[in-house]
Structure 1
Amino acid sequence: MHQFTEVEGPIPVVGLIDDRLSTTTICLASKYGSQLDPLGQCGLAHVLEHVLMSTPVGSVPSLSEYVERLGGHANAETGLDRMLFYAQVHPDDAEEIAGLLYQAVLQPRWSDAVLEQEKRAVFQELAAAAADHSDVVQDAFLAHFFPGHPMGRPVGGTKIDVERCDTASVAAAHRDRLLTAPLSVIVVGPRLPKSVDPVAAGIDPHTLATIGTAPATVPPSPPPAPQQPVRWSEEFTWLCAGAPSVPDHDPRRPHFNVLAQLLGSSPSSLLYRRLRGEAGLAYTFYAWNRGYADTGAWRVMAGVEPGNGDAALEVIRTALDEVATKGPDPDDLASARRQARMRVLTSMDTPLDCARFLAMRSSASGSWSPTDEVAYIDAVTAADVQRAAAQIRDGFRAVASPAAP
């Protein structure tokens, strides 16, 4: 049986302790993300993430390499409003790795050589993303809803801006942004390592005193760009459609999550029956809601063949309007709630997924537990989903990639 615990401190610790687990996953979560990148330095947070995982730490060449040599797994990710650094190792290695994770992220040793190496890796990552139109269309979707705003910039950055990054700017982002943002640590394993206490891990008290002292702020979101007709290409195209929803901490967030299941890719969803079953217009499609610190985005993404774009878009609009006008069918709503609940439960069943899930939820909402999330989902009513659908319908926009010239 697992035990869910929280430990207060300069870096709060959330632990899901289960003595049946044979690995320990440690995740350091920061409320610093790419939306705080300065103008002209789009991608700075992403470059910093790469550098912190690749710079020598302690007596080892890098946290990533050392964890992998132990047989474990280490990685990091940057989002619009958060960064995650995590490692999954044997429990006997967890004490050492927790300390090294703190040192790597909070007390790095800067190296021009490592920075140049990781900038080259980022260039390859950007090239791969540019070749994947399912990635491109999501960037285009956010750029449409947040024109000229940090939320509308690509998380990974642009090649021109990444090229501008130097050791001084990366170190400044670390000092002024990451170290002053709220941090938390998630541990999923058979026991809680003592070194998850940053003082025990040897982190400088002055560094700990700065954590959480500068809450992240971004400028107000501008109105979305005017809707233009979607320019369909003459090849297979990814369509992304939706509207702003609510921030991660908003109590209405579960309403939009359930709506995403109601119009998602499960054979039990209303949109699956309409879009794939009856109309046969899309084989691959997804619906999801993502809350951020100050706003949210609900969207459907579908891959459509040439000539099917407008028809697929009309099916999506009609299904959304039906829910917004009449409310969801009771059986469909019950199924959508079960699907949303199951997404939480399946995320908790895999230690690494569980740590990432807890990190994202805890860093967004403060004190939180999986039991809370399931209770919020179970409390979602037909009227809640109807209001959410009406909000998305009224703000509905669509973009496509590749787009016709």
Structure 2
Amino acid sequence: MVEIETLEGPVPVIAYIDERLSTTAVCLASAYGARHDPAPECGLAHVLEHVLMSAPVDTVPSFSEHVERLGGHANAETGPDRMLFYAQTHPDDAEEISALLYQAVLQPRLNGETLAREKRAVLQELAAAAADPSDVVQDDFLTDLYPGHPLGRPVGGTAATVERMDEVSVAAGHTERLLSAPLTAVVVGPRMPATIDALKAGVGPDVLARSGTASQEPVPLPEPGPVLAPRWPSEFAWVCAGARSVPYAHPHRPHFNVLAQLLGSSPSSLLYRRLRGDAGLAYAFQAWNRGYADTGAWRLLAGVEPGNGDAALAVIRGTLEQLASDGPTREDLASARRQAQMNIMTSVDSPLECARFLAMRADRHGTWSPSAALESVRAVESHHIRQAAAHVLEGFRVVVSPRAS
């Protein structure tokens, strides 16, 4: 497996170069995320993400449109801990796209017309999410898991906070938060599109000098709220169940990732055989683990028909209890480990997914590598699963959407 190389500088560049690749992906990652927005400006990072990808840059209407006209793909995403801006393109276009990406993100031409248009798009996005109980239940779960904390707020903000945003607040968010947070660039392709200096063409040293100057100490975590029994509606419902886990850099994170595979949607998972195969209580469900800078969230999402909620939860809890007591069988553990490793390998195999994968781990670029990640999963043993399952059970809580009337 090709390993990563880090080129140091004001904006470190993580390079994953494999001459067998036929496209190049470039990603610019900022360690500014939704959790860093002040409560009255909840969703500012998300709005800024939209604006930066859609505002005019250099001589083209927008970064996104120009990339797509060249046959490539461009997008961006905002999470609790970071923002990603990326494009996948032909290697011959990669040098131009890399320079445009830096300009679009670091030296945007903000204007009221673009902001008004993108605010409308964000409001439509929020409305669509609010109409989907499977989205609502995940936001409600994090609110219940982190009450009164930035991690418990919706990443996209609310209609009220988005409506209040203007050019001044968005420009301040860009200067005071995005530019001052640590920045990292990621390049995945058959060759480097340019030298570091050329990659930063058109971006002044005063802009780059701000990177990493802000202090982003996490807000102390509150105690979770009381655990309440779920109230089931008289219609199809989505249930989100789980608990806090560990931060993304914690050595036990692979244990929770493998536990998620044991209770995931694959026909090879233990919960699939019990919940869907034996009991027939859920058709759609998945489990996953997300790590943040100072904590994590292990979650299971399942859709249940009226009258099946308590029975489905009993199977889920019973499976966790057995894993906490006895651990998985050798065959189930081997299967779950292979699934977790495949998630890493398939991410690395796609240039764009590999760039996103590396960007999400940008602040560990000095020690992280695909082979090390695979080895950490390979090292997960039965007693690790017992401990992870017991940890989830200790903080286990359940949220249902839609709520019972």
Q: TM-score range by the shorter chain?
A: over 0.9
Displacement of 1:100: 0.6
Matched, 1:166 2:166: yes
Alpha-carbon distance between aligned partners in 1 of 2:88 and 2:139, rounded to the nearest angstrom: 30
Matched, 1:396 2:361: no
Aligned partner of residue 194 in structure 1, secondary structure: coil
Aligned partner of residue 325 in structure 1, secondary structure: helix
The corresponding residue for 1:257 is 257
8 Å Cα contact 1:150-1:218 kept in structure 2: no
The corresponding residue for 1:116 is 116
Alpha-carbon distance between aligned partners in 2 of 1:42 and 1:277, rounded to the nearest angstrom: 42
Displacement of 1:157: 0.6
Change (3 A) 1:358 1:257: same
Matched, 1:135 2:159: no
* Structure 2 unaligned residues grouped into runs of 5+: none
The corresponding residue for 2:291 is 291
Larger mean CA deviation between 312-321 and 202-211 belongs to 202-211
The corresponding residue for 1:345 is 345
Alpha-carbon distance between aligned partners in 2 of 1:200 and 1:73, rounded to the nearest angstrom: 21
The corresponding residue for 1:77 is 77
Alpha-carbon distance between aligned partners in 1 of 2:282 and 2:247, rounded to the nearest angstrom: 30
Displacement of 1:14: 1.1
Alpha-carbon distance between aligned partners in 2 of 1:290 and 1:331, rounded to the nearest angstrom: 25
Larger mean CA deviation between 10-19 and 241-250 belongs to 10-19
Change (3 A) 1:138 1:364: farther
The corresponding residue for 1:125 is 125
Displacement of 1:112: 0.9
Alpha-carbon distance between aligned partners in 1 of 2:364 and 2:170, rounded to the nearest angstrom: 25
Alpha-carbon distance between aligned partners in 2 of 1:290 and 1:235, rounded to the nearest angstrom: 29
The corresponding residue for 1:16 is 16
Larger mean CA deviation between 200-209 and 255-264 belongs to 200-209
Aligned partner of residue 356 in structure 1, secondary structure: helix
Change (3 A) 1:393 1:80: same
Alpha-carbon distance between aligned partners in 2 of 1:253 and 1:63, rounded to the nearest angstrom: 36
Aligned partner of residue 212 in structure 1, secondary structure: coil
Change (3 A) 1:192 1:305: same
CA deviation profile, 1:5-46 (whole Å, cap 9, x unmatched): 221111111111122222111011111100011121111000
Displacement of 1:72: 0.8
Matched, 1:332 2:332: yes
TM-score under structure 2 length normalisation: 0.97
Displacement of 1:362: 2.7
The corresponding residue for 1:30 is 30
Alpha-carbon distance between aligned partners in 1 of 2:158 and 2:324, rounded to the nearest angstrom: 38
Alpha-carbon distance between aligned partners in 1 of 2:130 and 2:2, rounded to the nearest angstrom: 42
Aligned partner of residue 210 in structure 1, secondary structure: coil
Displacement of 1:202: 2.5
Write the letter of the residue equivalent to 1:214: A
Alpha-carbon distance between aligned partners in 1 of 2:392 and 2:45, rounded to the nearest angstrom: 30
8 Å Cα contact 2:71-2:89 kept in structure 1: yes
8 Å Cα contact 2:36-2:150 kept in structure 1: yes
Write the letter of the residue equivalent to 2:117: Q
- What is the aligned residue count? 405
Larger mean CA deviation between 136-145 and 185-194 belongs to 185-194
Alpha-carbon distance between aligned partners in 2 of 1:198 and 1:12, rounded to the nearest angstrom: 14
Alpha-carbon distance between aligned partners in 1 of 2:116 and 2:300, rounded to the nearest angstrom: 37
Alpha-carbon distance between aligned partners in 1 of 2:313 and 2:123, rounded to the nearest angstrom: 34
Write the letter of the residue equivalent to 1:130: A
Aligned partner of residue 20 in structure 1, secondary structure: coil
Aligned partner of residue 15 in structure 2, secondary structure: strand
8 Å Cα contact 1:249-1:365 kept in structure 2: no
Write the letter of the residue equivalent to 1:206: D
Q: CA RMSD in A?
A: 1.4
Larger mean CA deviation between 296-305 and 217-226 belongs to 217-226
Alpha-carbon distance between aligned partners in 2 of 1:199 and 1:72, rounded to the nearest angstrom: 18
Write the letter of the residue equivalent to 1:370: P
8 Å Cα contact 2:14-2:365 kept in structure 1: no
Displacement of 1:366: 5.0
- Counterparts in 2 of 1:82-231, with a 5 A limit? 82-194=82-194, 196-197=196-197, 200-231=200-231
Write the letter of the residue equivalent to 2:142: L
8 Å Cα contact 2:99-2:199 kept in structure 1: no
The corresponding residue for 2:247 is 247
Alpha-carbon distance between aligned partners in 2 of 1:158 and 1:367, rounded to the nearest angstrom: 37
Displacement of 1:110: 1.4
Displacement of 1:377: 0.5
Percent identical among aligned pairs is 65
Displacement of 1:363: 3.8
Matched, 1:46 2:42: no
Change (3 A) 1:200 1:284: closer
Aligned partner of residue 40 in structure 1, secondary structure: helix
